Amino acid sequence: MAVVAPILSSNPLHLLPSSFDPPYELIHSHPSLALLSKCRSLDTFKQIHSQFIKFGLHNTQFALSKLVEFCAVSPHGDLPYAVSIFNSIHNPNHVIYNMMIRGYSLSSTPSLSLHYYVNMLLSGLEPNSYTFPFLLKSCTRLPTADTGKQVHGQVLKFGLVDDVYAHTSLINMYAQHGDLDDARMMFDKSDYRDAVSFTALITGYASRGYVDEARELFDSIPIRDVVSWNAMIAGYAQTGRFDVALSLFHEMRKQRVSPNVSTMLSILSACAQRGDMETGGVVRSWIEEHGHGSNLKLLNAMIDMYAKCGDPDMARSLFDSIQEKDLVSWNVMIGGYAHASKYKEALQVFRLLLLNNVEPNDVTFLNVIPACAHLGALDLGKWIHTYVKKHYSEFPNEALWTSLINMYAKCGDIVAAKQIFRGVQRKSLACWNAMISGLGMHGDAAGAIDLFTEMANEGMKPDDITFVGVLSVCCHAGLVDLGREFFNTMIRDHGISPRLQHYGCMVDLLARAGQLEEAMSMVGTMEQEPDGAIWGSILGGCRLHKNVELGEYAAKILYSLEPGNPGNYVALSNIYAGAGRWDEVAKIRTYLNDAGLKKVPGSTSIEVDSVVHEFLVSDRTHPRSEEVYRMAEEVEEAVRVAGHVTDTSEVYYDVDREWKEGVVSEHSERLAIAYGLISTKAGTTLRIVKNLRVCGNCHAATKIISKIYNREIIARDRSRFHHFKDGRCSCMDYW
């Protein structure tokens, strides 16, 4: 008795029969229970569990339900452990069954909730008003609404359909499965509507793109809370209506509803897309005020926002300040640089990522590959191709192949582009488009047009981008009749209304061919306002075909469209020069000098041993500059000896060059080629990328260089490729 007495006094529950639930207060005040509510790990939980056993608490349904709740529901819990406790319980009550159902509704196997529901019925218990919200949560997470519909029958059977919680859960279940009509019917039937039931339906509409329906509901909610606002804002952001998303955000603030992290993530994405750095700044202050400065998701979204709003330096400093970067941080930074046309920086960050032993993924590559394409960084592109083949051949991301096709084409390796294209099993429209425009860039008109036919034969319907591809092929090759035919087919047979780019190709094609009247009448039929490129084509055509009057007209329009672009003045001055109107030429030159208008300087890059070297006009900053200039002079002399006479007429007419670009032998492409000649083995193909169009003299000289130095030179300029070999160019001197 002496041994038993202290136990009895300290543990009055120990001797109670297991089926008996003692008074609430007795258990609720037990210290072990307080421990459980503070428990944050499974190890601690196990200690608490043994205390429960020691004190006999485990014989009470209340205590057991608390144990099961922790294991099944808490993020620190463990569902299998909950199962083992559950299995040790003789007659689990409602709460315990409900907790198991709830636990599975949060698990990766929500269907097992059903198992507990069925057993609950078999044990003779009826579901109560708590059961269906949990069970329907599981149904919401199942792939189809079938089970949910059966559960709906159960809700009716047990007379709980008017219960607010069960009812809202049903609305949500139907809404999440896209059965919006059923969800709507349930919603309309209920006579108790609040922010939660409204929002369940709104989310259903918004997440499936029915933003306007969602908005109508949203506007009729009696009380909106932050979740309702978020659902609406996210709906607009995901359907590309970023302006509306942003204005809703400002409205929400005006109505003094506090945003939360979800709001801010949607808003940052909208800011990024709309270039709204001001609202982005509001978000930044909010993050700092609310102590979310270390929320990585928010920080990554901020980096993305700054980069896409045109401040990649701010993005970078934020990126550098993050200690624990994840892959998304790297991807947004790389993508941010690429978006800001800072391709070299994008590749630098990519190299840094590899140096930090971070494993890239497909998103990384979808950002890096276009950067390689822009820079003509073929070696890095090839390395990525090898990596992609190794890692993604089993789970191919089709966009990756398309991106690689585009990269190879833009880096001048059209053979490799074709190889990938032929290897792609199920070719998407984007894939066909990439190959067609790739062939187009390389001047392979026949190849591109064959592919267009092949595509049609395979039942793939061309879109507006496909037609930009084929029309630009016709433009590069001077195929006027075919171009006209494609243009008409596009409108007539495919119902595609021409966009600026289509008109751009056609006007350029016609203007070059000297069909200035037809070109002008096409401009007249345009629905949209013709842009600078179109008037530029007219002006270029006037220069080629010596039409002063129309040239003056086009130039005047261009002056107002592009006031800062000296190229238009230069082009008109060339037309005047061709007509011998030297006084006009002089006037323009004086104007340009007075206005201080500067043309974008020519720059050419060349990749040698995976490093991209960039040369500007008369550039002397390269470490091997002296050797480069010596080689450039040698080349110039060799070209002269080979019989090339610098086209003095062009130099004479081209005020621009005299004025800005200096001597032809210091053009950036000459420097890049000279560098290529001194830094690669004899016979190696040189691949160069120029930011402007190649000039006539450099084109002629490069043909000769390809012959006397026995090098294939593949040059990409602003609009297309030139393959120089044995003294000829693939463009047949038409460009």
Member of 32, 147, 228, 603 binding DNA (CB under 7 A): 228
Pick between residue 265 and residue 639 the one whose CB is nearest to DNA: 265
Pick between residue 37 and residue 648 the one whose CB is nearest to DNA: 37
Member of 260, 501, 680, 691 binding DNA (CB under 7 A): 260
DSSP labels, 676-731: HHHHS-TTPPEEEEESSPPPHHHHHHHHHHHHHTT--EEEE-SS-EEEEETTEETT
Residue 231 Cβ vs DNA, minimum distance, rounded to whole Å: 6
Is there binding between residue 668 and DNA (CB under 7 A)?
Answer: no
264: nearest Cα among 293, 221, 307, 224: 293
Residue 204 Cβ vs DNA, minimum distance, rounded to whole Å: 9
* Stretch of 80-88, 107-115, 224-232, 396-404 lying at the interface with DNA (CB under 7 A): 224-232
Member of 71, 277, 332, 510 binding DNA (CB under 7 A): 332
Member of 203, 239, 573, 679 binding DNA (CB under 7 A): 203
Member of 59, 230, 279, 547 binding DNA (CB under 7 A): 230
Member of 335, 440, 462, 676 binding DNA (CB under 7 A): 335
Pick between residue 83 and residue 713 the one whose CB is nearest to DNA: 83
Is there binding between residue 210 and DNA (CB under 7 A)?
Answer: no
Residues 604 and 619: their CA atoms lie apart, in Å, by 11
Member of 57, 99, 233, 409 binding DNA (CB under 7 A): 99
* Stretch of 179-187, 356-364, 468-476, 541-549 lying at the interface with DNA (CB under 7 A): 356-364
And the tokens for 313?
């330096």
Residue 18 Cβ vs DNA, minimum distance, rounded to whole Å: 14
678: nearest Cα among 613, 602, 601: 613
Is there binding between residue 410 and DNA (CB under 7 A)?
Answer: no
Q: How many CA atoms lie within 13 A of 99 on its CB side?
A: 26
The packing angle between helices 429-441 and 398-410, to 10°, is 0
Pick between residue 356 and residue 425 the one whose CB is nearest to DNA: 356
**Residues 300-329, interacting with DNA (CB under 7 A):** 300-301, 304, 326-329
Residues 523 and 504: their CA atoms lie apart, in Å, by 9
In sequence order, the β-bridge partners of residue 613 are: 606
* Stretch of 294-302, 340-348, 414-422, 608-616 lying at the interface with DNA (CB under 7 A): 294-302
Member of 13, 79, 95, 142 binding DNA (CB under 7 A): 95
**Residues 143-202, interacting with DNA (CB under 7 A):** 163-165, 167-169, 172, 176, 192, 194-200
Pick between residue 332 and residue 378 the one whose CB is nearest to DNA: 332
**Residues 5-44, interacting with DNA (CB under 7 A):** 24
Member of 138, 331, 406, 437 binding DNA (CB under 7 A): 331
Residue 164 Cβ vs DNA, minimum distance, rounded to whole Å: 5
DSSP labels, 206-266: HHTT-HHHHHHHHHH-SS--HHHHHHHHHHHHHTT-HHHHHHHHHHHHHTTPPP-HHHHHH
Pick between residue 364 and residue 433 the one whose CB is nearest to DNA: 364
Pick between residue 129 and residue 649 the one whose CB is nearest to DNA: 129
Residue 528 Cβ vs DNA, minimum distance, rounded to whole Å: 29
And the tokens for 504?
């751009």
Member of 296, 446, 456, 586 binding DNA (CB under 7 A): 296
The packing angle between helices 398-410 and 362-375, to 10°, is 10
Residue 368 Cβ vs DNA, minimum distance, rounded to whole Å: 11
And the tokens for 598?
């500067």
Q: Is the Cβ–Cβ distance between 364 and 330 less than 8 Å? A: yes
* Stretch of 257-265, 547-555, 558-566, 648-656 lying at the interface with DNA (CB under 7 A): 257-265
616: how many CB neighbours lie within 10 A of its CB? 17
**Residues 123-142, interacting with DNA (CB under 7 A):** 128-130, 133-134, 137, 140
* Stretch of 265-273, 429-437, 466-474, 649-657 lying at the interface with DNA (CB under 7 A): 265-273
Residues 79 and 105: their CA atoms lie apart, in Å, by 11
Pick between residue 231 and residue 729 the one whose CB is nearest to DNA: 231
Site string for DNA, 60-79 (x = CB under 7 A): -xxxxxx--x---x------
Pick between residue 131 and residue 515 the one whose CB is nearest to DNA: 131
197: nearest Cα among 169, 155, 216: 169
For 239, residues 6+ apart whose C-beta sits below 8 A from its C-beta are: 209, 211
CA 40 to chain centre: 39
Q: Beta 686-690 vs 713-716: how paired, if at all?
A: parallel
Pick between residue 326 and residue 454 the one whose CB is nearest to DNA: 326
In sequence order, the β-bridge partners of residue 690 are: 604
Is there binding between residue 345 and DNA (CB under 7 A)?
Answer: no
Is there binding between residue 640 and DNA (CB under 7 A)?
Answer: no
For 510, residues 6+ apart whose C-beta sits below 8 A from its C-beta are: 480, 516, 518, 519, 522, 541
Member of 30, 49, 102, 657 binding DNA (CB under 7 A): 102
Residues 64 and 607: their CA atoms lie apart, in Å, by 70
Residue 542 Cβ vs DNA, minimum distance, rounded to whole Å: 43
Member of 71, 135, 183, 227 binding DNA (CB under 7 A): 227
Count of chain residues binding DNA (CB under 7 A): 71
Pick between residue 287 and residue 585 the one whose CB is nearest to DNA: 287
178: how many CB neighbours lie within 10 A of its CB? 14
Residue 352 Cβ vs DNA, minimum distance, rounded to whole Å: 16
Residues 251 and 248: their CA atoms lie apart, in Å, by 5
Residues 519 and 530: their CA atoms lie apart, in Å, by 12
Member of 26, 89, 180, 261 binding DNA (CB under 7 A): 261
Pick between residue 63 and residue 674 the one whose CB is nearest to DNA: 63
Q: Is the Cβ–Cβ distance between 608 and 679 less than 8 Å? A: yes
**Residues 374-393, interacting with DNA (CB under 7 A):** none
And the tokens for 710?
């026995």
Q: Is the Cβ–Cβ distance between 257 and 229 less than 8 Å? A: yes
Residue 281 Cβ vs DNA, minimum distance, rounded to whole Å: 18
Distance set, CA 724 to CA 103, 437, 473, 585, 637 (Å): 69, 20, 19, 34, 19
Residue 82 Cβ vs DNA, minimum distance, rounded to whole Å: 13
- Kindly compute the dihedral angle of the four CA atoms of residues 603, 604, 605, 608, in this order, to the nearest 10 degrees: -140
Scan for tokens 């002399």, then name that residue: 637
Is there binding between residue 257 and DNA (CB under 7 A)?
Answer: no
Scan for tokens 């002269």, then name that residue: 640
Residues 651 and 551: their CA atoms lie apart, in Å, by 20
